[in-house]
Amino acid sequence: MYPEMVKPKVFITRQIPEKGIEMIKEYYDVEVWPEYTPPPREVLLEKVKDIDALVSLLTDKIDCELLDNAPRLRIVAQYAVGFDNIDLECATKKGVYVTNTPGVLTQSVAEFTWGLILAVTRRIVEADNFVRSGEWWNTKTGWHPLMLLGMELKGKTLGIIGMGRIGRTVAKIAKGFDVRILYYDVRPLPEEMEKELEAKYVDLDTLLKESDIVSVHVPLTPQTYHLIGERELKLMKKTAYIINTARGKVIDTQALIKALEEGWIAGAGLDVFEQEPLPPDNPLTKFKNVVLAPHIASATVEARTGMAELVAKNLIAFYKGEIPPTLVNKDVVKVRSPGFK
């Protein structure tokens, strides 16, 4: 252990809710990157040279080169549930613990998913623009039987791709809407859970063919990269919508643009993109039947505070020589024991 007065150094790559920082400060010497934008690569490469712990975001690339530059680094506590920005294999080899923040953001992301589902199927953003732009005023009628018609959810089929915590919570909320649930994942849920959620396991093609709404909840891995491409979008109903709150790279953007241009599907609700921020001239911005959000599905006070606390709990457990509660690379314990000994 460190002598009483010398705390291990942690660098936090962006301002996170204060509560987490306060907790971390009891055990660590904390430096927080003060800017809104991520630390540039050169800065991060320099910073990691003499830190013991790093709090990273999905916009920080934690690869082998960076880890090679960080001889004292023992733990990377990611402030996100996804960790596709981190080279796990390399971290494990080097004995660097990697943790993430599952669970605490599940409800917020699932609620936001429903927000996008409602926004696209009921054309809420389009309607808001219609009112603000004066188009409604120009129609000279307050109500019209055929104005801005959308799709009712009751009795429709929701296809969930990826039935982890978030996918399951989306399914749970679905009950209030009376939709049928199909799901696809690498393996089916335990029977109990399937029953409780009233969800039916099908293969991906069946899900795509039968769903009125397809919602993506898989992590980004080599296996899920462009999982949804031309072939998959063509399998969907022309009246169906696709929702993505997972990772942009799970859907082939060019294929999606083509699908929207040529009417293979009815619309999309997207919180994540292959390139973030999404350039304002990206073709996706021109479709009225697409609702766009800037990667904010977990952006609630509750979730973001919970994430900060969980990051702190991981760092504190590690400091105490305990296995962090949400360790991602579990094999790392064979390489090095937790703690700063």
Measured from the CB atom, the residue of 55 and 80 that comes closer to ligand GLV is 80
Annotation says 247 is catalytic: yes
Measured from the CB atom, the residue of 106 and 211 that comes closer to ligand GLV is 106
Annotation says 217 is catalytic: no
Measured from the CB atom, the residue of 8 and 306 that comes closer to ligand GLV is 306
Q: Are 201 and 183 in contact (CB under 8 A)?
A: yes
Residue nearest to ligand GLV (CB): 164
Catalytic residue selected from 22, 89, 262, 276: 276
Binding positions for ligand GLV, rule: CB under 6 A: 58, 80-82, 102-103, 105-106, 164-166, 217, 298
Q: Are 40 and 13 in contact (CB under 8 A)?
A: no
Q: Are 219 and 78 in contact (CB under 8 A)?
A: no
Annotation says 231 is catalytic: no
Measured from the CB atom, the residue of 294 and 321 that comes closer to ligand GLV is 294
Distances (CA, A) of 157 to 106, 166, 228: 22, 18, 18
Q: Are 124 and 118 in contact (CB under 8 A)?
A: yes
Minimum CB separation of residue 303 from ligand GLV in Å reads: 9
Catalytic residue selected from 14, 123, 168, 247: 247
Minimum CB separation of residue 80 from ligand GLV in Å reads: 3
Q: What is the number of H-type helices and E-type strands within the chain? A: 14, 12
Minimum CB separation of residue 234 from ligand GLV in Å reads: 27
Minimum CB separation of residue 280 from ligand GLV in Å reads: 21
Give the long-range contacts of residues 117-120, CB within 8 A, separation 24 or more: 117/153, 117/158, 117/213, 117/215, 117/241, 117/243, 117/269, 118/153, 119/269, 119/291, 120/241, 120/243, 120/267, 120/268, 120/269, 120/289, 120/290, 120/291
The position carrying tokens 């606390």 is: 309
Measured from the CB atom, the residue of 82 and 95 that comes closer to ligand GLV is 82
Closest CA to 208 of 180, 179, 241: 241
Minimum CB separation of residue 32 from ligand GLV in Å reads: 19
> Which residue type is seen at 309?
E
Minimum CB separation of residue 312 from ligand GLV in Å reads: 16
Angle between helix 301-319 and 18-25 (nearest 10): 10
Catalytic residue selected from 74, 123, 168, 295: 295
Distances (CA, A) of 142 to 128, 138, 147, 282: 14, 10, 10, 34
- The phi, psi pair for 51, rounded to 5°, reads -110, 155
Measured from the CB atom, the residue of 53 and 220 that comes closer to ligand GLV is 220
Give catalytic residue positions: 247, 276, 295
